[in-house]
Structure 1
Amino acid sequence: MLMILEPVMRVIEWPIKFLQDKLGLKNPAWIFLFPNLVLFGLFAFLPVILNFAYAVTGTDAILLADRPFVGASNFTALMDCENFLDPNSCRDDLFWRAVWNTLRFVVLQVSLMVLFALVTAIILNREIRARGFFRAVFFFPVLLSPVVVALIWKWILQREGILNAWLDGMGLETFNWLLDRSWAFGWSVFLSVWAHMGFYTLILLAGLQAIPRDVYEAAKMDRASPWRVFRKITLPLLMPTMLVVLVLATIKGVQTFEEVYAFTGGGPGSATTLIIQYVYETGFAGAPRLFGPAAAASLLLAVVLVLLTIIQLWINRKNVDG
């Protein structure tokens, strides 16, 4: 084996040694980073630059040479509203419906996600029977594809699905769960919480296990009630981890697309249309394909995500410094 590898390594050694001699001993790391930087620039920086270009140009032409410069017109059209609280008063009413749907979705989803993940982490941190099994069960949905999760729950909740069959068997009234605006939105939130809660439960569980046990032993000696222990010890010491979970869940909630799109398609009407779906349908699935408004909407969303990322980095730095 060595006889085979030695000639290969000699062939690789020559260009690396040549570049090292030219660049000096302090710069050989760039030799290995260069291929990754090229790929990263090609698939990350270049699309961002193109997105800016499409955001400031018009028409449905795909080639930039065929798209006239329109400046901030695409952004102006998105922000043209008499009352931002009323999408019907906006020039692009679907965009603002998607914005408010996303905001409502994120508030409900993140609140429920953090609450249930915290309760689940506290339970799984106790000495219960088959604790490892239950930890795996709660984490299992995270491993599933979002589309698979959506199709499973769509199969359960459709008009002739398992849930209606069970209700009918119990002599109860059945519902068109996915055809009612309120029910469809509520089930979309539930679906997202069910699919992603295990990930945040795992993070909170790690935070709980990092709390020193002697603190709880001291509280036990003082005969503190369980609620007082949770309020005075567990929650304050877990708060840094909770803040990280909150920021991560918020960023993930804003980016939600696959499971809701496969689950309801954004309907009924526009009841479950989120901002990512608006970008997708405006720029790629609609006719004509309006690349300019889609790119402008994605850039506005990127600003929000950058702000959330800055908050996360600030929280992490504060935790490290603290």
Structure 2
Amino acid sequence: MVAPAILPARGRNTGRPRAGMSAIERSRRRLYWPMLLPALILMVLFYVVPILYAGWLSLHTWDGINELKWRGAENYIQLAKDPIFVGSIGNTLKILFVVGIVTFVFAFALTMILRDMTGRKFVRSVLFFPTLINAMVFGIFAGFLFSPAGPLNKILAAVGVTDPPKWLAQDNLFNLIMIVMIWSATGYFTTIIMSAVDQIPAYYYEAAGLDGAGPWAKFRHVTLPLAWDVISVCAVLWTMSSVKVFELILVFGGSTAQAPPASTWSTALYVYQAAFGGGSREFGVSAAAAIVSLALVTVLTIGLRRMLRREAIEI
């Protein structure tokens, strides 16, 4: 009797062609590493190496000209005591949760409306169009729209409103930024979710209708479970993109010569301002803020993936 220890485990990928394998399987095994290696090299060069360098730089103080000076964890301690950085984390979390929840509520509502609408492909293209426009354009347009002499105040004056709200006041600025984000992101996620809904057979909805299910019940018991994998991917995409919101806030709230109010900063904008804004350039503090942002998005993404994990439903 042959000892079990010398037998290869069933299904184990040993990396070597096994006896009885087809020619296609053997060629796939031989091409696995040659095809994967270029992507791994690029990922290491453009992702891993910069992250390691940022981590090393975050332990120093450097203005970009003089020599680096070791500072240890002082940059991180400085960030923890900096109310602007703490506020930027709060703003980033507002973008993640408040803007994200409202965006997905609108996306789900539009999905329920568009599912049975005639001409839904055209409407979906219209909703997706804002995604093709750079966020800086949205910032410039929103600044023009809500300016004191902008079209919105002129319309309000025409209907008799003599004292319009100060839209671009510091207390209202971040709320307007979140509204613009919702407007620009809703169509994108609606389009992705609708692509999953289009794959759901119509007889599921017909059966639910025969059982007396209304639009909400159909969405809850048919659309949501069968499109769950795509929805969870959308949630992860939003989590990663919300931490990187930068240009919209910079253009909307600031200018080429002046930074936006610190109360509107996100962590990404804080990283930029620490490195290139103001009179002093603190690349060490900027790198530390970037590492904290990376840790934040990593924790949030892993936690979200675990929270949204569920058994796949085959259609």
TM-score by length of 2: 0.79
Task: Give the residue type in structure 2 aligned to 1:235.
Answer: L
Instruction: State the match for 2:14 in structure 1.
Output: none
Work out whether residues 184 and 272 of structure 1, in 8 Å CA contact, stay in contact via their aligned partners in 2. yes
Shift of 1:188: 0.4
Instruction: State the match for 1:72 in structure 2.
Output: 73
- Whichever structure has more helix as a proportion of its residues is 1
Pick from 263, 273, 280: which aligns with 2:265? 273
Q: Distance in 1 between matches of 2:217 and 2:306?
A: 30
Instruction: State the match for 1:233 in structure 2.
Output: 222
Identity of aligned residues (%): 30
Per the alignment, do residues 33 and 220 of structure 1 end up closer, same or farther by CA in structure 2, a change over 3 Å counting? closer
Instruction: State the match for 1:95 in structure 2.
Output: 85
Task: Give the residue type in structure 1 aligned to 2:105.
Answer: L
Question: Are residues 1:174 and 2:177 paired?
Answer: no
In structure 2, the gaps of 5 or more residues are 1-27
Pick from 181, 192, 197: which aligns with 2:181? 192
Per the alignment, do residues 61 and 150 of structure 1 end up closer, same or farther by CA in structure 2, a change over 3 Å counting? closer
Work out whether residues 226 and 313 of structure 2, in 8 Å CA contact, stay in contact via their aligned partners in 1. no
Pick from 104, 111, 130: which aligns with 2:101? 111
Which structure carries more relative contact order (alpha carbon 8 Å, separation 6+)?
2
Root mean square deviation of aligned Cα: 2.8
Instruction: State the match for 1:44 in structure 2.
Output: 47
Structure 2 counterparts to residues 114-193 of structure 1, below 5 A: 114-128=104-118, 130-172=119-161, 173-181=163-171, 183-193=172-182
Work out whether residues 151 and 263 of structure 1, in 8 Å CA contact, stay in contact via their aligned partners in 2. yes
Instruction: State the match for 2:11 in structure 1.
Output: none
Work out whether residues 98 and 273 of structure 1, in 8 Å CA contact, stay in contact via their aligned partners in 2. yes
Task: Give the residue type in structure 1 aligned to 2:69.
Answer: P
The SS at the match of 1:98 is helix
The SS at the match of 1:271 is helix
Pick from 274, 296, 300: which aligns with 1:304? 296
Q: Distance in 2 between matches of 1:312 and 1:319?
A: 15
Work out whether residues 244 and 312 of structure 1, in 8 Å CA contact, stay in contact via their aligned partners in 2. no
Residues paired across the two proteins, number: 283
Q: Distance in 1 between matches of 2:211 and 2:219?
A: 14
Shift of 1:127: 3.0
Shift of 1:167: 0.6
Work out whether residues 225 and 313 of structure 2, in 8 Å CA contact, stay in contact via their aligned partners in 1. no
TM-score by length of 1: 0.78
Q: Distance in 1 between matches of 2:300 and 2:90?
A: 18
Work out whether residues 155 and 161 of structure 1, in 8 Å CA contact, stay in contact via their aligned partners in 2. yes
Question: Are residues 1:263 and 2:252 paired?
Answer: yes
Work out whether residues 200 and 226 of structure 2, in 8 Å CA contact, stay in contact via their aligned partners in 1. yes
